[in-house]
Structure 1
Protein backbone atom coordinates (compact mmCIF):
# COMPACT_ATOMS: atom_id res chain seq x y z
CA UNK A 1 0.00 0.00 0.00
CA UNK A 2 1.36 3.41 -0.96
CA UNK A 3 1.72 5.96 1.81
CA UNK A 4 0.14 9.35 1.12
CA UNK A 5 2.29 12.19 2.44
CA UNK A 6 1.99 15.95 2.62
CA UNK A 7 4.76 18.35 3.67
CA UNK A 8 3.47 21.48 5.38
CA UNK A 9 5.57 24.55 6.17
CA UNK A 10 4.22 27.32 8.36
CA UNK A 11 5.73 30.66 9.33
CA UNK A 12 4.26 33.40 11.47
CA UNK A 13 4.21 35.30 14.74
CA UNK A 14 5.11 33.09 17.70
CA UNK A 15 2.60 32.70 20.49
CA UNK A 16 1.58 30.01 22.97
CA UNK A 17 -0.84 27.41 21.56
CA UNK A 18 -0.07 27.86 17.86
CA UNK A 19 1.36 24.33 17.49
CA UNK A 20 -1.59 22.91 19.40
CA UNK A 21 -4.02 24.59 17.01
CA UNK A 22 -2.22 23.44 13.85
CA UNK A 23 -1.80 19.90 15.23
CA UNK A 24 -5.52 19.91 16.08
CA UNK A 25 -6.41 20.73 12.46
CA UNK A 26 -4.23 17.84 11.28
CA UNK A 27 -5.80 15.41 13.75
CA UNK A 28 -9.35 16.57 12.94
CA UNK A 29 -8.74 15.84 9.25
CA UNK A 30 -7.86 12.23 10.15
CA UNK A 31 -4.15 12.65 9.41
CA UNK A 32 -1.12 12.17 11.62
CA UNK A 33 2.21 13.97 11.93
CA UNK A 34 4.98 11.57 10.91
CA UNK A 35 7.97 13.91 11.18
CA UNK A 36 8.32 17.55 12.21
CA UNK A 37 10.65 20.38 13.14
CA UNK A 38 9.76 23.61 14.90
CA UNK A 39 11.85 26.54 16.04
CA UNK A 40 11.45 30.13 17.07
CA UNK A 41 13.47 32.51 14.90
CA UNK A 42 13.36 36.07 16.21
CA UNK A 43 9.71 36.77 17.02
CA UNK A 44 8.47 34.19 14.49
CA UNK A 45 7.82 30.48 14.66
CA UNK A 46 8.83 28.24 11.75
CA UNK A 47 7.41 24.73 11.40
CA UNK A 48 7.88 21.95 8.89
CA UNK A 49 5.80 18.79 9.16
CA UNK A 50 5.35 15.65 7.13
CA UNK A 51 1.78 14.47 7.52
CA UNK A 52 0.43 11.03 6.58
CA UNK A 53 -3.15 10.11 5.75
CA UNK A 54 -5.48 8.57 3.20
CA UNK A 55 -5.78 10.63 0.02
CA UNK A 56 -9.22 12.01 0.99
CA UNK A 57 -7.97 12.99 4.48
CA UNK A 58 -5.01 14.84 2.99
CA UNK A 59 -7.34 16.57 0.52
CA UNK A 60 -9.56 17.67 3.43
CA UNK A 61 -6.49 18.99 5.27
CA UNK A 62 -5.20 20.81 2.17
CA UNK A 63 -8.60 22.46 1.70
CA UNK A 64 -8.59 23.70 5.32
CA UNK A 65 -5.05 25.10 5.35
CA UNK A 66 -5.75 28.53 3.75
CA UNK A 67 -8.45 29.37 6.32
CA UNK A 68 -6.26 28.05 9.14
CA UNK A 69 -3.41 30.24 7.91
CA UNK A 70 -5.61 33.33 8.03
CA UNK A 71 -7.05 32.41 11.46
CA UNK A 72 -3.62 31.62 12.97
CA UNK A 73 -1.79 34.44 11.14
CA UNK A 74 0.55 31.92 9.50
CA UNK A 75 1.93 31.69 5.99
CA UNK A 76 1.25 28.04 5.18
CA UNK A 77 2.49 26.08 2.18
CA UNK A 78 1.80 22.44 1.42
CA UNK A 79 3.22 19.98 -1.08
CA UNK A 80 2.49 16.32 -1.70
CA UNK A 81 5.55 14.09 -1.39
CA UNK A 82 6.52 10.44 -1.47
CA UNK A 83 8.54 8.20 0.77
CA UNK A 84 12.25 8.79 0.24
CA UNK A 85 13.99 6.13 -1.78
CA UNK A 86 17.49 5.38 -0.47
CA UNK A 87 20.07 6.42 -3.05
CA UNK A 88 22.78 3.81 -3.06
CA UNK A 89 24.83 2.63 -0.13
CA UNK A 90 25.22 5.77 1.99
CA UNK A 91 26.31 6.20 5.58
CA UNK A 92 25.24 9.06 7.85
CA UNK A 93 27.98 11.25 9.30
CA UNK A 94 27.66 14.04 11.86
CA UNK A 95 29.45 17.33 11.26
CA UNK A 96 29.94 19.84 14.09
CA UNK A 97 31.53 23.25 13.47
CA UNK A 98 32.13 26.14 15.88
CA UNK A 99 33.88 29.40 15.09
CA UNK A 100 33.90 33.11 15.58
CA UNK A 101 30.91 34.32 13.58
CA UNK A 102 31.64 35.63 10.09
CA UNK A 103 29.73 35.62 6.78
CA UNK A 104 29.98 32.66 4.39
CA UNK A 105 30.50 29.74 6.78
CA UNK A 106 27.40 27.81 5.66
CA UNK A 107 28.14 28.48 1.98
CA UNK A 108 31.72 27.16 2.32
CA UNK A 109 30.57 24.02 4.15
CA UNK A 110 27.69 23.37 1.73
CA UNK A 111 30.02 23.90 -1.23
CA UNK A 112 32.55 21.43 0.19
CA UNK A 113 29.96 18.66 0.48
CA UNK A 114 28.15 19.53 -2.75
CA UNK A 115 31.27 19.30 -4.91
CA UNK A 116 31.81 15.79 -3.55
CA UNK A 117 28.25 14.63 -4.25
CA UNK A 118 27.45 14.45 -0.54
CA UNK A 119 23.89 15.37 0.44
CA UNK A 120 23.21 17.42 3.57
CA UNK A 121 20.24 15.66 5.17
CA UNK A 122 19.85 17.98 8.16
CA UNK A 123 21.39 21.25 9.23
CA UNK A 124 20.93 23.51 12.23
CA UNK A 125 22.85 26.71 12.89
CA UNK A 126 22.89 29.10 15.79
CA UNK A 127 24.75 32.16 16.97
CA UNK A 128 25.60 33.04 20.53
CA UNK A 129 27.86 35.37 22.49
CA UNK A 130 30.59 34.02 24.76
CA UNK A 131 30.01 34.74 28.42
CA UNK A 132 33.33 36.29 29.39
CA UNK A 133 34.45 38.13 26.26
CA UNK A 134 31.20 38.82 24.42
CA UNK A 135 32.66 37.34 21.24
CA UNK A 136 29.99 36.50 18.62
CA UNK A 137 30.15 32.75 17.87
CA UNK A 138 28.57 30.56 15.19
CA UNK A 139 27.72 26.87 15.49
CA UNK A 140 26.64 24.40 12.79
CA UNK A 141 25.34 20.85 13.22
CA UNK A 142 24.85 18.76 10.07
CA UNK A 143 24.01 15.22 9.16
CA UNK A 144 25.44 14.29 5.77
CA UNK A 145 25.06 11.12 3.69
CA UNK A 146 28.46 9.81 2.60
CA UNK A 147 28.74 7.08 -0.05
CA UNK A 148 30.15 3.88 1.44
CA UNK A 149 32.69 3.89 -1.40
CA UNK A 150 34.01 7.31 -0.32
CA UNK A 151 37.54 7.21 1.12
CA UNK A 152 36.60 8.60 4.54
CA UNK A 153 40.16 9.34 5.72
CA UNK A 154 40.74 11.49 2.62
CA UNK A 155 37.35 13.19 3.04
CA UNK A 156 38.10 13.93 6.68
CA UNK A 157 41.56 15.31 5.80
CA UNK A 158 40.17 17.58 3.06
CA UNK A 159 37.38 18.75 5.37
CA UNK A 160 39.80 19.55 8.18
CA UNK A 161 42.07 21.41 5.72
CA UNK A 162 39.11 23.57 4.67
CA UNK A 163 38.21 24.22 8.30
CA UNK A 164 41.82 25.19 9.10
CA UNK A 165 41.80 27.65 6.18
CA UNK A 166 38.55 29.20 7.47
CA UNK A 167 39.61 29.10 11.14
CA UNK A 168 36.79 26.73 12.11
CA UNK A 169 36.88 24.13 14.90
CA UNK A 170 35.23 21.02 13.46
CA UNK A 171 34.64 17.31 13.69
CA UNK A 172 33.19 14.79 11.24
CA UNK A 173 32.33 11.35 12.58
CA UNK A 174 29.88 8.50 11.96
CA UNK A 175 26.41 9.40 13.19
CA UNK A 176 25.27 7.67 16.33
CA UNK A 177 21.82 6.35 15.46
Structure 2
Protein backbone atom coordinates (compact mmCIF):
# COMPACT_ATOMS: atom_id res chain seq x y z
CA UNK A 1 0.00 0.00 0.00
CA UNK A 2 1.91 3.07 -1.18
CA UNK A 3 -0.69 5.81 -0.98
CA UNK A 4 -3.34 6.87 1.47
CA UNK A 5 -6.01 7.28 -1.21
CA UNK A 6 -7.52 3.97 -0.11
CA UNK A 7 -10.39 3.75 2.34
CA UNK A 8 -9.80 5.03 5.87
CA UNK A 9 -11.20 4.18 9.29
CA UNK A 10 -10.82 5.98 12.62
CA UNK A 11 -10.69 3.46 15.45
CA UNK A 12 -10.86 4.40 19.14
CA UNK A 13 -10.34 1.90 21.96
CA UNK A 14 -10.78 2.62 25.67
CA UNK A 15 -10.25 0.26 28.58
CA UNK A 16 -8.39 -0.48 31.76
CA UNK A 17 -4.67 0.14 31.27
CA UNK A 18 -2.66 -3.07 31.16
CA UNK A 19 0.30 -4.49 29.31
CA UNK A 20 -0.26 -6.02 25.87
CA UNK A 21 -3.31 -4.06 24.64
CA UNK A 22 -1.38 -2.15 21.98
CA UNK A 23 0.17 -5.37 20.68
CA UNK A 24 -3.23 -7.08 20.47
CA UNK A 25 -4.86 -4.19 18.61
CA UNK A 26 -2.00 -3.58 16.19
CA UNK A 27 -1.80 -7.30 15.43
CA UNK A 28 -5.52 -7.37 14.59
CA UNK A 29 -5.08 -4.37 12.27
CA UNK A 30 -2.10 -6.01 10.58
CA UNK A 31 -3.89 -9.35 10.16
CA UNK A 32 -6.77 -7.48 8.47
CA UNK A 33 -4.25 -5.99 5.97
CA UNK A 34 -4.70 -2.40 7.14
CA UNK A 35 -1.98 0.17 7.63
CA UNK A 36 -1.85 2.48 10.68
CA UNK A 37 -1.17 5.91 9.19
CA UNK A 38 -1.63 7.93 12.39
CA UNK A 39 -2.14 7.06 16.06
CA UNK A 40 -2.25 8.47 19.58
CA UNK A 41 -2.16 6.82 23.00
CA UNK A 42 -3.08 8.40 26.31
CA UNK A 43 -3.52 7.12 29.84
CA UNK A 44 -6.35 9.04 31.51
CA UNK A 45 -6.86 8.04 35.12
CA UNK A 46 -6.60 4.24 35.04
CA UNK A 47 -7.96 4.08 31.49
CA UNK A 48 -5.97 3.42 28.35
CA UNK A 49 -7.08 5.26 25.19
CA UNK A 50 -5.77 4.39 21.72
CA UNK A 51 -6.85 6.26 18.60
CA UNK A 52 -5.72 5.05 15.17
CA UNK A 53 -6.31 6.15 11.61
CA UNK A 54 -6.26 3.06 9.42
CA UNK A 55 -5.97 2.80 5.66
CA UNK A 56 -6.75 -0.16 3.47
CA UNK A 57 -8.86 -1.40 0.61
CA UNK A 58 -12.58 -1.92 1.14
CA UNK A 59 -12.14 -5.58 2.12
CA UNK A 60 -9.45 -4.78 4.71
CA UNK A 61 -11.51 -2.01 6.33
CA UNK A 62 -14.56 -4.30 6.42
CA UNK A 63 -12.48 -7.06 8.09
CA UNK A 64 -11.49 -4.67 10.88
CA UNK A 65 -15.10 -3.56 11.30
CA UNK A 66 -16.26 -7.16 11.63
CA UNK A 67 -13.46 -8.64 13.77
CA UNK A 68 -12.86 -5.77 16.20
CA UNK A 69 -16.12 -6.14 18.23
CA UNK A 70 -15.26 -9.74 19.25
CA UNK A 71 -11.63 -8.83 20.06
CA UNK A 72 -12.83 -5.80 22.04
CA UNK A 73 -15.04 -7.99 24.22
CA UNK A 74 -12.14 -10.40 24.82
CA UNK A 75 -9.90 -7.50 25.89
CA UNK A 76 -12.57 -5.67 27.90
CA UNK A 77 -12.39 -2.61 25.64
CA UNK A 78 -14.99 -0.12 24.54
CA UNK A 79 -14.37 0.58 20.85
CA UNK A 80 -15.79 2.93 18.31
CA UNK A 81 -15.14 3.12 14.57
CA UNK A 82 -15.99 5.62 11.87
CA UNK A 83 -15.11 5.61 8.20
CA UNK A 84 -13.42 8.75 6.96
CA UNK A 85 -11.40 10.09 4.04
CA UNK A 86 -8.03 11.79 3.64
CA UNK A 87 -7.71 15.14 5.39
CA UNK A 88 -8.05 18.14 3.09
CA UNK A 89 -5.61 20.91 3.94
CA UNK A 90 -7.07 24.39 4.26
CA UNK A 91 -5.35 27.65 3.36
CA UNK A 92 -3.23 28.39 6.42
CA UNK A 93 -0.27 30.72 6.59
CA UNK A 94 1.63 29.24 9.53
CA UNK A 95 1.59 26.71 12.33
CA UNK A 96 2.38 27.38 15.98
CA UNK A 97 2.50 25.74 19.36
CA UNK A 98 1.06 27.52 22.34
CA UNK A 99 2.12 26.33 25.77
CA UNK A 100 0.56 27.89 28.84
CA UNK A 101 0.74 27.20 32.57
CA UNK A 102 -0.83 28.65 35.68
CA UNK A 103 -2.77 27.86 38.79
CA UNK A 104 -5.56 25.44 37.90
CA UNK A 105 -8.72 27.47 37.40
CA UNK A 106 -11.99 26.15 36.02
CA UNK A 107 -12.80 27.40 32.52
CA UNK A 108 -9.31 28.40 31.33
CA UNK A 109 -9.11 25.78 28.57
CA UNK A 110 -12.62 26.69 27.46
CA UNK A 111 -11.72 30.41 27.24
CA UNK A 112 -8.53 29.67 25.27
CA UNK A 113 -10.16 27.30 22.77
CA UNK A 114 -13.14 29.63 22.31
CA UNK A 115 -10.74 32.53 21.67
CA UNK A 116 -8.90 30.49 19.02
CA UNK A 117 -12.18 29.54 17.36
CA UNK A 118 -13.22 33.22 17.22
CA UNK A 119 -9.98 33.88 15.28
CA UNK A 120 -10.78 31.01 12.83
CA UNK A 121 -7.75 29.14 14.11
CA UNK A 122 -7.67 25.38 13.58
CA UNK A 123 -6.43 23.34 16.55
CA UNK A 124 -4.39 20.33 15.35
CA UNK A 125 -3.53 18.80 18.71
CA UNK A 126 -4.09 19.52 22.37
CA UNK A 127 -2.65 18.03 25.55
CA UNK A 128 -3.53 19.34 28.96
CA UNK A 129 -2.89 18.10 32.46
CA UNK A 130 -2.55 19.23 36.05
CA UNK A 131 0.30 18.90 38.52
CA UNK A 132 0.92 19.87 42.11
CA UNK A 133 3.56 22.47 42.87
CA UNK A 134 4.16 24.11 46.23
CA UNK A 135 0.97 22.49 47.61
CA UNK A 136 -1.15 24.09 44.88
CA UNK A 137 -2.72 22.51 41.78
CA UNK A 138 -1.39 23.93 38.50
CA UNK A 139 -2.46 23.36 34.90
CA UNK A 140 -0.37 22.96 31.79
CA UNK A 141 -1.59 22.92 28.20
CA UNK A 142 0.18 22.53 24.87
CA UNK A 143 -1.78 23.23 21.69
CA UNK A 144 -0.65 22.99 18.10
CA UNK A 145 -2.62 25.16 15.70
CA UNK A 146 -2.72 26.61 12.19
CA UNK A 147 -3.41 30.27 11.52
CA UNK A 148 -5.56 31.46 8.63
CA UNK A 149 -3.88 33.56 5.94
CA UNK A 150 -5.91 36.65 6.81
CA UNK A 151 -4.94 36.63 10.52
CA UNK A 152 -2.83 39.55 11.70
CA UNK A 153 -0.60 37.64 14.11
CA UNK A 154 0.65 40.76 15.92
CA UNK A 155 -2.93 41.80 16.76
CA UNK A 156 -3.72 38.21 17.69
CA UNK A 157 -0.82 38.16 20.18
CA UNK A 158 -2.02 41.44 21.77
CA UNK A 159 -5.52 40.00 22.23
CA UNK A 160 -4.09 36.77 23.61
CA UNK A 161 -1.96 38.74 26.08
CA UNK A 162 -5.19 40.27 27.43
CA UNK A 163 -6.76 36.81 27.74
CA UNK A 164 -3.68 35.39 29.49
CA UNK A 165 -3.70 38.28 31.94
CA UNK A 166 -7.38 37.70 32.78
CA UNK A 167 -6.76 33.94 33.05
CA UNK A 168 -3.56 34.41 35.07
CA UNK A 169 -1.44 32.12 32.86
CA UNK A 170 2.07 32.36 31.49
CA UNK A 171 2.45 31.35 27.85
CA UNK A 172 4.89 30.87 24.98
CA UNK A 173 4.17 30.81 21.23
CA UNK A 174 6.58 28.95 18.93
CA UNK A 175 6.34 28.90 15.15
CA UNK A 176 6.61 25.33 13.88
CA UNK A 177 5.81 25.72 10.18
Secondary structure class of the residue paired with 1:67: helix
Residue of structure 1 in register with 2:66 after alignment = 63
Q: Is 1:100 aligned to residue 103 of structure 2?
A: yes
Aligned residues: 174
Unmatched 5+ residue regions in structure 2? none
Measured after TM superposition, the shift of residue 62 of structure 1 is 0.7
Normalised by the length of structure 1, the TM-score is 0.94
In structure 2, the residue matched to 1:121 is 124
Q: How far apart are 1:102 and its partner, in Å? A: 1.3
Per the alignment, residue 26 of structure 2 pairs with 23
Q: Deviations over 1:69-92 (max 9, x none)?
A: 101111000011111111123421
Structure 1 CA distance for aligned equivalents of residues 42 and 50 of structure 2: 7
Tell me the residue number matched to 1:171: 172
Q: Which 4+ stretches in 1 moved above 3 angstroms?
A: none
Shift of 1:25: 0.4
In the TM superposition, what is the alpha-carbon distance from 1:159 to its structure 2 partner?
0.7
Which runs of 5 or more residues in structure 1 are unaligned?
A: none
What TM-score comes out, normalization by structure 2 length? 0.94
Partner of 2:138: 137
Whole-angstrom CA distance in 2 between matches of 1:118 and 1:147: 6
1:40-72 deviation per Cα after TM superposition (whole angstroms, max 9, x unaligned): 111110111001111100100110111111011
Q: Deviations over 1:143-173 (max 9, x none)?
A: 1110122111111111111001110101223
Q: CA RMSD in A?
A: 1.2
Q: Report the equivalent of 1:161.
A: 162
How far did residue 27 of structure 1 move?
Answer: 0.5
SS at structure 2 position matched to 1:57:
helix
**Quick one: distance in 2 between partners of 1:145 and 1:89?**
6
